[in-house]
Amino acid sequence: MQSSGTSHSSTSTTEQNRFKAILGACIGGAVLLILFIFAIIQAKNEESVLGWIIAGILLAWLGVAAYLAWGVMKQANASQKSFDEASVIRRNEENALLDDKLAHSFKIVLVQSNVIKEQLAANASESEAMIERALDTIDTTASNGMSMIKDAKGDS
């Protein structure tokens, strides 16, 4: 039930990387757009077929860049969604494990409670020692259960 301590830093790093990727894509797209506009202006001013061909090529590259940027963003969003789902599954598994451990602790307390009741009813010479051991077991189990709960609260 211990946290690795990297969830916040990895999220921060992921956001920084995502920002850098978006910034780079925006700069590259802006450069292509400026070149495309410049090529159109030059082709219009010079009335050259070659200028229009270059403008068409730049438009195609601009389309490819936009398509790739869209694909990368779509994949990044899908990866983030997958990561979030895996985190939820992991958290649920950890909670289920904690529930199982606590249920086991409660069963131990119930068994020891029955031992105490039986020994009180028997009132035999070894009853006091059995009751002492049962109470010690209950104390230890309760302490361990509280530690598990504190550890689990520290993770979230």
pLDDT of 156 reads 52
CA 93 to chain CA centroid, nearest Å: 13
Q: What are the 10-residue block averages of pLDDT along the chain, 156 residues in total?
A: 50 79 84 89 88 90 88 89 93 89 90 89 85 91 88 73
pLDDT of residue 9: 58
Question: What pLDDT does 10 receive?
Answer: 62
Sequence-separated (6 or more) residues with CB below 8 Å from residue 7: 87
Residue 32 CB-half CA count within 13 A: 17
Write down the pLDDT at residue 11: 66
Rounded to whole angstroms, what are the CA distances from 73 to 9, 16, 64?
A: 21, 14, 14
**Phi and psi for 126 in degrees, rounded to 5?**
-90, 0
